[in-house]
Amino acid sequence: MLLAREAERLEAFAQEIGAEAEPCDVGDRIRVEEVAARVGERHEAIHLLVNNAGIAAGGGFLDVAPERIEQVIRTNYLGSVWCLRAFLPLLRRGAPSDVVNIASVAGAVVGPKSGPYSASKHAQLAFSRGLASELEGTGVRVHAVNPGPVPTPGFPQERAQAGRLTRRLVVQADDVARAVLRAVEHDRRETFIPWPFRIAAAAQGLAPGSLSRLTARLRRHR
């Protein structure tokens, strides 16, 4: 079952892989609940939920319109919340089952001009960590996968791919898909891809001021 806003592309992809599809803005709680109810009429249970919806903010806090910030929070964070809340009864019926939240390295490491997007991903990652604990022992396992830059139509990653060092940290969608499978198969609650970003996340927690000054300096001299 696939959910996405762009109905035409959604239907084409669903036909390509032989899946069901429901056009839906995951940031709209009522709409998500309606879709979940229809899915529940057709399926007794589900065994895997992947929250992968995400949009870019397009700039830093001072550059982005308030409406865009709201849209980013609704899609990137609340989309995961509403989908898990609506589909949780079906996941419980399908237990053992898994939830995978595609968060981001930006949910653990903040750089210049990334405030709105990073805020949405920090919220999503915190939600994932909290739910992993809250649902422990219920048969529903929660995993977070935190990719670095992934070139997609919505996130071309032109700057990352142009840098001599940063291009080595760019990963492809297939790499993320494999990380999702490993997380589920081996019950990994949190995965960073590529792995060096785990070190950056630790540095953010241990020395946030130093890392903030360093990333700002690197951006000025890029």
Residue 33, by phi and psi: left (phi above 0), alpha (psi -120 to 50) or beta?
alpha
Helix, coil or strand: residue 105: helix
Report DSSP state, residue 106. Answer: G
Residue 149 to residue 60: CA distance in whole angstroms = 17
Q: Of these residues, 77, 82, 117, 127, which one is catalytic? A: 117
Give the whole-angstrom CA distance, residue 52 versus residue 18.
19
Count Cβ atoms within 10 A of the Cβ of residue 18 and give its class: 0-12 exposed, 13-18 middle, 19 or more buried: exposed
Please say if 77 is a catalytic residue. Answer: no
Q: How far is CA 93 from the centre of its chain?
A: 24
Separation CA 173–CA 177 (nearest Å):
6
β-pair type (190-193, 21-23)? unpaired
Catalytic residues: 117
